[in-house]
Amino acid sequence: MPGNDPRLRRTLQLVIALNLGFFAVEFAVATAIGAVSLFADSVDFLEDMAMSLLVLAAMRLSPLMRARIGFGLAGVLLAPVIAFLATLAHKFTAAVPHAPEPLPFALTGLAALAVNATCALLLARVRHAGGSLTRAAFLSARNDMIANLAIMAAAGLTALWPSIWPDIVVGLGIAGLNADAAKEIWAAARREHGAALAARDGGGEAP
């Protein structure tokens, strides 16, 4: 990843700002209406911001160090899974678990979709610039768009059938998407790590 790539740097800075801003919005709405899927998705925005910060910081690092950071990002992608499980446990310990209000639920999902679509389009143009790091940021934004569509569907179901379960099922889906992305990034980082070690040791192609 070239350290002097201004296009990549500007893209990452914009993605960081968008993710941080909407994290605050979605977290506030999730807390207000008690939507566990929105809470998991809000943590996703914070995770995306942290990921883009790491990619930005790694721009001047060696290929070997970038691959090692890629291993760490695979772990970062699991953060929303842990956040969802913790929030879900809290919801079930409440005296009377209640379904989230459908309108703010749906509108927040729509706004999140717009933000994630913007980030995904921005990152799609530079996703090959930095191996597993930039690819991790792109995959996360792409997965978030799928999650946002599911959130909107859950809001529609909740309006027709007031229940906590559409929210919970979508939250489980978000957790699954992030676990799958973590697996992909781990595999990509492992390949890059092998290639970087081979290049460093003068052994040619990595096995």
> What pLDDT is recorded for position 132?
64
What residue ranges of the chain have pLDDT lower than 70? 1-4, 77, 80, 94-97, 127-133, 181, 203-207
Q: Of how many residues is the chain composed?
A: 207
pLDDT tens by residue, 71-125: 777 777 677 677 777 777 777 776 556 788 999 999 999 999 999 999 988 888 8
Quick check: helix, strand or coil at residue 77? coil
Q: pTM here?
A: 0.74
Tokens (6 digits) for 148: 């946002």
> What pLDDT is recorded for position 95?
54
> What pLDDT is recorded for position 14?
94
**DSSP 8-state assignment for residue 163:** -
Closest CA to 116 of 15, 11, 7: 15
Q: Is residue 199 a contact partner of residue 84, using CB atoms and an 8 Å limit?
A: no
Q: Is residue 48 a contact partner of residue 137, using CB atoms and an 8 Å limit?
A: yes
The dihedrals phi and psi of 136, each to the nearest 5 degrees, come to -60, -45
Q: Which amino acid would we find at residue 114?
A: A
Q: Please, how many CA atoms are within 13 Å of residue 56, restricted to the half-sphere of its CB?
A: 18
> What pLDDT is recorded for position 64?
75
- Between the alpha carbon of residue 76 and those of residues 19, 83, 126, 181, the distances in Å are 15, 12, 21, 10
Q: Is residue 15 a contact partner of residue 52, using CB atoms and an 8 Å limit?
A: yes
Angstrom distance (rounded) from CA 52 to CA 59: 11
